[in-house]
């Protein structure tokens, strides 16, 4: 059983998948940083100097100034600002994956088309004659 597992784990596809997951996780961190540290602060400034990630709706009925205070108190909150950040993350990731797949598909080599036939069969004697021929060279029939 260990031998079978070793063969499975060392197959190229499993290694490729592991590398893809690791690179994907690192790329996710880069996109999250891009959204939270680069994109959302200017958007917040345009919307009236607000931090979107700190926007929430308090469901507990108590008053909290910040999301951190509400979380510390264990209050139920709807964190729509964090949801907006996550949505922007998703849109950027989806766009990047779209561009990557589009480029990969463009780089794939097209399968060569089958060559056009250069000969045809005589319907009378079934011999092979050139495609442009109007008479069969074997039976002299009109083709």
Q: What is the rounded distance in angstroms from the CA atom of residue 92 to the CA atom of residue 98? A: 10
Q: Hey, where are the domains in the chain?
A: 2-108, 114-143
Q: Do residues 98 and 109 lie in contact, with contact meaning Cβ atoms separated by under 8 Å? A: no
Q: In this structure, which topology does domain 2-108 adopt according to CATH?
A: 1.10.1200
* CB half-sphere exposure, 29, CA atoms < 13 A: 5
Alpha-carbon gap, residue 123 to 142, rounded angstroms: 10
pLDDT of residue 22: 93
At 102-113, the pLDDT tens digits run 888 888 776 677
CB 119 within 8 A of CB 130: yes
Residue range 90-139, pLDDT digits in tens: 888 889 889 988 888 888 776 677 788 889 998 888 889 898 888 888 88
């Amino acid at each position: 059983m260990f031998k079978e597992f070793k063969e499975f784990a060392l197959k190229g596809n499993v290694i490729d998948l592991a590398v893809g997951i690791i690179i994907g996780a690192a790329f996710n961190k880069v996109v999250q940083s891009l959204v939270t540290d680069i994109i959302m602060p200017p958007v917040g400034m345009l919307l009236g100097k607000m931090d979107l990630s700190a926007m929430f709706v308090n469901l507990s009925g108590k008053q909290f100034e910040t999301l951190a205070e509400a979380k510390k108190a264990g209050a139920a909150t709807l964190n729509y600002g964090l949801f907006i950040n996550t949505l922007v993350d998703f849109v950027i990731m989806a766009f990047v994956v779209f561009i990557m797949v589009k480029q990969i598909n463009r780089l794939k080599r097209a399968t060569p088309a089958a060559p056009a036939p250069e000969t045809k069969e005589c319907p009378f004697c079934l011999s092979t004659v050139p495609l442009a021929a109007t008479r069969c060279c074997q039976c002299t029939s009109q083709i």
